[in-house]
Structure 1
Amino acid sequence: MEKITVSIGKSSYPITIASGLLTNLITFLPLEQKSTVMIVTNQTLAPIFLKEITQHLNKQGIKVNNVILPDGEKYKTWESINYIFNELLNNLHGRDTILIALGGGVIGDLTGFAAAIYQRGIKYIQIPTTFLAQVDAAIGGKTGVNHELGKNMIGAFHQPIAVIIDTDFLLSLSSRQFASGIAEVIKYAVIFDEQFFYWLEQNIDALISLNPQALEYCIRRCCELKANVISSDEKEIRGIRVLLNFGHTFGHAIEAYMGYGNWLHGEAIAVGMIMAARTAEHLKIFQSQHTNRIIALLQRAKLPVNGPIEMKATDYLPYMQRDKKVFSKKMHLVLPTKIGSAILHKSVSDKILVAAINECRIFTELKNNIQI
């Protein structure tokens, strides 16, 4: 078992990583007897895990209600938040209630946002069940919902009181869902850790085959990297945390344009990273051989590296111009400078963006090799 602490003063919290945590969950949850909790999960996970978790909590004298939401990115909406509020109010939950997010990034973001604003703020716990959520989304306190004009445009920073990562959840994931998480893993390596990138090149096959040692090391390293960033820059004030958005400005445009859920988040981010790398090449701050290494690693993970053929380069720009990293109407982009290092470039012209996007899109049209 691994334990990592996100150190942010009074809001610090532990991340616990191991297999088999579900069978002894109460040991790792910061709950007291007679606590009241509301579990938020989805229709896919509820039939598999909800009864067992509820029984474990009930045996400890903990009162449990639950909210079961539809499964998918398209349900990351105000309507889902309002449904959570209805259940909290109908069951007379007060400010002492603790929400438990049992699911992937969508459930985690919805639960965290509901916790941030219900009765001006209540506590919540993350139990991430997808690889993407375990290595990234469940950590750091970013919560929110999507808008039809942009992803994650409505939300709040609200840290959980604990993150419980049970690697056994990954055994139930589809290969596509697991690959989506690998995109975020590669992101961490590209922007922060050259040696980790090299490790991924040597161990990507073991990771895909769910080798326990590879999984444990990979999740721990990503959690360490993100915990360090959050501890230094919880709310993107100092500029360090913004580097975690590598590939996301392009990727969020794909998700919004194509309809939330049609492209998985990691699939869109994989393409976004290559578009960002091509942009950095045009600015002469990144070398093409490094882009090729990233492409090779993404392809080994069965992730797309080219944008959807339905999108023209100019289709990206309206979404990118509404991105949270636009200041004074100037596009700020996270761009790599070498494997293991990235910067926030504070003025990228539309001409360069269009050229970088077209390089990926033209290749797609010629090769017709995108697999979603």
Structure 2
Amino acid sequence: MSNTDPLIYIIAGEPSGDALGARLIAALRVASEGRIRFAGIGGTSMAREGLFSLFDPAEIAIIGLLEILPHIPKILFRVQETVADIVRRRPAVLVTIDSWGFTGRVNKILRALQLPILQIHYVAPMVWAWYERRAADLARCVDHLITLFPHESVYFARAGVSVVCVGHPIIESGAGWGDGSAFRSRYALANTAPLLCVLPGSRSCEVKRLLPVIARTVKQLSLKRPNLQVVLPTVDSMKDYVLKNVRTWTNPVKVVYTARDKYDAFAAADIALTAAGTVVLELALAQLPMIVTYRVTSISAWIFRRLSQVRYINLVNLLLDRPVVPELLQAQCQPTLLAAEVERLLDDATARATQRVAFHEATRRLGYGGLAPSIRAAQLILGFLDRQRQQ
């Protein structure tokens, strides 16, 4: 690699985008035979691939329509800082990953500057969940869109976007290859006792809101199931907060934070209680029956209900357009109801088997069994770059 090799600037604003960005960097490096340089914004996964982030993306990983308000000044400052860095570096390609509230602003400003930068967005904004005007907004400020879900392409193609679906990179994660026996042995967990995997989210606001609810849920469950074992996979950025808080739990809980331990925990567990998000697809790959729960502020929830066109919030239900996985949201996100649902799923082998059958269907729709999505995305990006350089 030399200073004359093309520079690709990648922006990932939250943990799921960071994981996707890391796989993309690795795939681009292989596909280009090491003839690509990288800069941008990313988390620990992209750092392991050699990216030095402009700033910590946790600063912009805010979810909730109301929750974001206090952070707007800092986010807008980071938008301007990011644009200035891109203008200074003059990359050949900008790849923005998800987080359209942030990355969309960056793309719009850069497009107005009319710089010779190929602008590619990876992970479509949820126009099918909100309103199609966002598709037209995206069409005006990016050159190409790479999507994860097959049904998204029609919306953006209608708006004139150059769009290709590559499948969801979660199928490359290894989530379905965990070693449950090794995990129970490693952490001295009884093979005969039920193991509940709890996942309160990856963003700070999610964890801080859901972890206390999950703690009280586990406490209620332990009254009826004193042999219940609990494992809590988390992310590096939330590890210290989680470890501090679980010390007060009445039940002992194993906190893990590496990908290997997480996927081994999935293989070892009987069921999962999880926040909504990409982790739902990881659990589906691991064939781990689950219950999804989530809570935002009342105002954010009201706005979402007014604007949203979807019936479900978890990705398995969305993909299959039917209620495979129970969702306990907002007022239902409370310990008594969650504990009852966990008990029901632990006791109902038919319900667990029904979820597993549906998981096979959902993951096939994401491209499971075909060419790795990160490789397809890397090939597309390099192809777009080659065509632009030939013009």
Q: TM-score, normalised by structure 1?
A: 0.31
Question: Is the radius of gyration larger for structure 1 or structure 2?
Answer: 2
Larger strand fraction of residues:
1
